[in-house]
């Protein structure tokens, strides 16, 4: 079962007030219905969703709705559950679908979404028919709603952004896609829908992914540091080799000679580690800065030898 299906099944069990049921049914109907010759057709791949829509019609308008299954032209492996209903204009006006002249409204009247809970319910209805969310285990966070008309797309975007979700619209070949890509915003959106189990799963996966990303970044950083240490030590060993090949070690003072020998003895040690080793083994404390000063003397002598040889 996909993550989107789990979300839809979870929110299909939410108990509504009457006004919330009207708002949710309106959101579903306005983004799913085919209305021809007085017959309203609604479809869904999800049995729980279609049962919920049937219960709304029964509870709100005392209408018993029969369902049937039809072939799904988009997803041949699944059948669609289909409701065909003869509705009078009063009900369709009550649901914010038709105006007084029997024309389809470009956006619902404000009473449909007059309060926050009704807005949440409307958004649930929209998600149940046209929404999807990637499983957070995948490589990218993504929520989308596929809307047919520009007016409805803008209306839904405004509702989403009342909750500061940063929803955006993309013009597609067949309609408009409203989408959210920020993980925190998608989590907030799930809370708005009332999908608490889906939120818990999403957050657990998101936290795990962030921890793994942080661990990988730390490992990459440590590897980069190790690469720099090895490169630096390799350069210092090359400088020492130049000095020794030209019998010039005695041009260094005793402490710098000592550093030269310790660098050869511990070629993979970082500057800090080498300073600690020398301090421990000789009993003469030397700081990282002091050690760096001695290594600069080795570098300067090697550079002079190279210049003279050229």
Domain spans, the chain: 3-194, 228-309
pLDDT score for 179: 94
Mean of per-residue pLDDT scores for the chain:
88
Top pLDDT among 71 and 127 is at: 127
Residue count (the chain): 310
Neighbours of 210 (CB within 10 A): 11
pLDDT score for 74: 62
pLDDT score for 204: 87
Find all residues with CB under 8 Å of 209, minimum gap 6, and list them: 136, 137
How far apart are alpha carbons 190 and 172 in whole angstroms?
24
In 3D, which of 207, 131, 150, 152 has the Cα closest to residue 26?
A: 152
Coil, strand, or helix at residue 111?
helix
How far apart are alpha carbons 205 and 202 in whole angstroms?
5
Half-sphere exposure of 132 (CA within 13 A, CB side): 9
The radius of gyration computed from the CA coordinates of the chain, to the nearest angstrom, equals 35
Inter-residue contact 186 to 157 (CB < 8 Å): no
pTM of the model: 0.69
Most confident of 17-26, 243-252, 267-276, 296-305: 17-26
Averaged pLDDT for residues 185-196? 93
Q: Which CATH class is domain 3-194?
A: alpha beta
In 3D, which of 116, 102, 123 has the Cα closest to residue 178?
A: 123
Inter-residue contact 142 to 149 (CB < 8 Å): no
Find all residues with CB under 8 Å of 113, minimum gap 6, and list them: 23, 119, 122, 159
pLDDT tens per residue across span 66-125: 888 877 766 555 788 888 888 888 899 999 988 888 888 888 998 999 899 999 999 999
């Amino acid at each position: 079962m996909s993550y989107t299906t789990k979300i839809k099944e979870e929110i299909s069990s939410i108990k509504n007030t009457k006004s919330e049921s009207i708002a949710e049914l309106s959101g579903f109907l306005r983004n799913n219905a085919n209305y021809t010759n007085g017959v309203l057709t609604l479809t869904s791949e999800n049995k729980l969703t279609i049962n919920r829509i049937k219960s709304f019609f029964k509870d709100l308008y005392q209408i018993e709705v029969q369902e049937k299954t039809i072939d799904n032209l988009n997803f041949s492996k699944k059948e669609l559950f289909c409701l065909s209903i003869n509705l009078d204009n009063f009900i369709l006006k009550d649901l914010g679908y038709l105006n007084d002249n029997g024309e389809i409204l470009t956006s619902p009247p404000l009473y449909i979404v007059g309060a926050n809970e009704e807005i949440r319910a409307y958004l649930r209805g929209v998600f149940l028919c046209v929404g999807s969310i990637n499983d957070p285990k995948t490589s990218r966070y993504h929520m989308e709603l596929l809307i047919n008309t520009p007016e409805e797309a803008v209306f839904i975007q405004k509702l989403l952004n009342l909750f500061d979700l940063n929803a955006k619209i993309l013009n597609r070949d067949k309609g408009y896609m409203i989408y959210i890509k920020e993980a925190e915003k998608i989590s907030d959106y799930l809370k708005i829908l009332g999908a608490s189990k889906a939120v818990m799963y999403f957050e657990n996966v998101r936290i795990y992914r962030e921890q793994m990303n942080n661990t990988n970044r730390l490992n990459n950083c440590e590897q980069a540091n190790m690469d720099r240490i090895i490169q630096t030590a390799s350069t210092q060993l090359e400088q020492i080799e130049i000095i020794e090949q030209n019998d010039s070690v005695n041009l260094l003072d005793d402490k710098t000679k000592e550093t030269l020998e310790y660098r050869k003895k511990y070629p993979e040690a970082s500057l800090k580690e080498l300073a600690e080793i020398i301090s421990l083994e000789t009993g003469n404390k030397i700081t990282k800065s002091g050690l760096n000063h001695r290594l600069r003397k080795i570098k300067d002598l090697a550079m002079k030898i190279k210049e003279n040889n050229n």
